């Protein structure tokens, strides 16, 4: 079924949990997070309902025992047990007969796809007691409702719970930290959240196996918005966060795009531009929070201003519908997304400031570095221009951006020169990476 063990592992992680009622605070999402923590052997940060997180407040736990709409003859129109998306998240309890007119006021349908459910979650972000209720059913079904009266039964309750967050830190030689994040919520959906968790866990397995890590890496998995507010309020070592990527919708057939940081000119912006330009040619660069607008607004928002990218395969036609399921999860693309993340990490880990130790243009063929200009004129020209720019004032990424070429080409050439003792390198000062890159000096 799958072409690699990685794809099988990602499927095995997604399959048991994606249909759970994974709203921000619920028994189901706590179960999911704690099972992940057990597998990864990491701790869980649990923040009680009502806790202040910046100006946000952790909501109460929402428990659904049963919820349905049926005709007076007993025919089910909507049923939470069939799909959690059919009940609007954080609906209050209700049981009784309602008129067709009243029922239609409480039904939401997808605005452009008449046969689809529409995920409605706005109440989980609204502070205060929850007194309203509603369902999501396809407009094609809603249009067939002709009875005067329907039976509605919603058995839900609210209680104290915890917002549970995985906060896994892999230490490196530097305390400077790159964080990668995805959300654990969105019940009954795969691309929207849980597939990205599977992807990031594989990424951290890769990071664990590296013989050395220059940077520290931090995996943050929790409910959308609340996890970020919780980490920034209650997490440790926030001052070390340098850059971040928030992933969403990474398991479909569309090209990977990214929304730039607020500044748009940070080190991580330049890394993403270079890697995606040469490895995902159809990718697009979108303004800040212009993709799905997730937790970037916390990390790269007021006060914190940690340059954070949003990264997604965009657009995803089944966004917030029940067809965001395993059948429409492209595991080949999900694994390709992992490769892109690894390439981004490679730049963080290998970028350096090179300086030539020889004078004049290098006798390339002497060191088996010659590129025939008749076969590859661009490659030949690039080698000449890289040497000019290797004067100890630019990093490999800055050289690549200035010449508009692949970072890997520059980095590989520099490494070969170092092996021949024709160049030396020095680390990029950690704070330099937070200063805007000047690629056209």
Distances (CA, A) of 207 to 170, 189, 244: 8, 27, 15
- Cα 133-124-233 angle, rounded to 5 deg: 160
Judged by DSSP in three states, 259 sits in strand
Among 77, 62, 75, which residue's Cα sits nearest to residue 21?
A: 62
Q: Hunting for tokens 């340098």 — which residue is that?
A: 242
Please report which helix (H) or strand (E) contains residue 402, including its range: helix 396-403
Output the six-digit token pair for 77. 């129109």
Architecture of the domain defined by 61-159: 3-Layer(bba) Sandwich (3.50)
CATH number of 353-434, picked from 3.40.50, 1.10.472, 1.10.3300, 1.10.3470 = 1.10.472
β-strand pairing of 107-108 with 135-136: parallel
Chain CA centroid to CA 304, Å = 19
The CATH class of 5-59+162-350 is alpha beta
Q: What is the pLDDT of residue 430?
A: 72
In sequence order, which residues have a C-beta less than 8 Å from that of residue 225 and are 6 or more positions away?
A: 56, 125, 294, 295, 298
The whole-angstrom separation of Cα 36 and Cα 380 is: 49
Distance CA 117, CA 329 (A): 18
Residue 367 gets which letter from DSSP? Answer: G
Q: What is the mean pLDDT of each run of 10 residues along the chain (441 residues)?
A: 96 98 99 98 98 98 99 98 98 99 97 96 94 98 98 99 99 97 98 98 98 98 98 96 98 98 96 97 96 94 97 96 98 99 98 98 97 96 98 97 98 98 92 46 44
pLDDT of residue 143: 97
Query: Cα–Cα distance between 335 and 401 in angstroms, integer?
Result: 27
The DSSP string of 152-217 is: EEEEEEEE--EEEEEEEEE--SSS-EEEEEEES--TT-STTTHHHHHHHHHHHHHHHHSS--SSEE
DSSP readout, 110-134?
-SS-TTS-----GGGGS-S------
CA dist 254 and 248 (Å) reads 13
Domain-wise residue ranges, the chain: 5-59+162-350, 61-159, 353-434
0.85 surpassed by pTM: yes
- Number of CB atoms found within 10 A of residue 258's CB: 26
Predicted local confidence at residue 435, as pLDDT: 52
Taking residue 77's Cβ as centre, other Cβ atoms within 10 Å add up to: 21
Residue found under tokens 């079904």: 141
The Cα 355–Cα 366 span in angstroms is 20
| Other CB atoms within 10 A of residue 89 CB | 26
Question: What Å distances lie between residue 322 and 77, 118, 315, CA to CA?
Answer: 16, 8, 16
Beta carbons within 8 Å of 233's beta carbon, 6+ residues apart: 52, 53, 54
Other beta carbons within 10 angstroms of residue 134's beta carbon come to 19
Which residue in the block uniquely carries the two structure tokens 């502070």?
127
Give kind and range of the element (H or E) at residue 226: helix 226-234
């Amino acid at each position: 079924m799958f072409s690699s063990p990685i794809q099988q592992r990602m499927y095995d992680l997604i399959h048991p949990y994606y249909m759970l009622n994974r709203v921000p605070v619920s028994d189901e999402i706590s179960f999911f997070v704690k099972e992940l923590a057990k597998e990864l052997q990491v701790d869980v940060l649990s923040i009680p309902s009502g806790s202040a997180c910046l100006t946000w407040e952790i909501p109460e736990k929402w428990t659904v025992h049963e919820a349905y709409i049926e005709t007076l003859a007993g025919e089910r129109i909507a049923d939470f047990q069939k799909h959690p998306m059919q009940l609007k998240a954080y609906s209050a309890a209700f049981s009784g007969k309602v008129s067709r007119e009243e029922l239609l006021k409480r039904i939401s349908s997808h605005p452009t796809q008449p046969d689809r459910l529409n995920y409605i979650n706005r109440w989980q972000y609204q502070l205060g007691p929850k007194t309203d209720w509603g369902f999501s059913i396809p407009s094609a079904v809603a249009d067939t409702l002709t009875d005067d009266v329907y039976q509605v039964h919603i058995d839900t309750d609210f209680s104290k719970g915890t917002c549970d967050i995985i906060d896994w830190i892999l230490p490196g030689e530097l305390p400077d930290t790159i964080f990668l994040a995805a959300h654990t919520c969105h019940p009954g959906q795969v691309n929207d959240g849980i597939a990205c968790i599977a992807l990031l866990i594989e990424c951290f397995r890769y990071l664990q196996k590296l013989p050395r890590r220059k940077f520290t890496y931090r995996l943050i998995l929790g409910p959308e918005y609340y996890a970020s507010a919780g980490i920034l309020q209650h997490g440790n070592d926030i001052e070390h966060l340098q850059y971040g990527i928030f992933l969403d919708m990474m398991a479909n057939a569309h090209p990977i795009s990214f929304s730039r940081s607020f500044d748009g000119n940070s080190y991580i912006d330049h890394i993403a531009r270079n890697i995606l330009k040469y490895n995902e040619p159809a990718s697009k660069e979108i303004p800040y929070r212009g993709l799905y607008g997730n937790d970037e607004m916390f990390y790269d928002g007021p006060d914190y201003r940690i340059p954070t990218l949003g990264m997604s395969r965009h657009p995803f036609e089944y966004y917030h519908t029940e067809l965001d399921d395993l059948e429409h999860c492209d595991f080949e693309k999900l694994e390709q997304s992992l490769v892109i993340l690894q390439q981004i990490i490679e730049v963080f880990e290998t970028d350096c400031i090179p300086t030539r130790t020889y004078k004049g243009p290098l006798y390339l063929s002497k060191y088996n570095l010659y590129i025939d200009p008749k076969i590859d004129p661009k490659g030949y020209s690039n080698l000449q221009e890289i040497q000019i720019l290797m004067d100890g004032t630019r990093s490999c990424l800055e050289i690549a951006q200035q010449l508009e070429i692949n970072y890997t080409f520059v980095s590989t050439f520099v490494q070969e020169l170092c092996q021949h003792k024709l160049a030396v390198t020095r680390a990029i000062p950690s704070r330099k990476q937070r200063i805007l890159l000047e690629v056209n000096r």
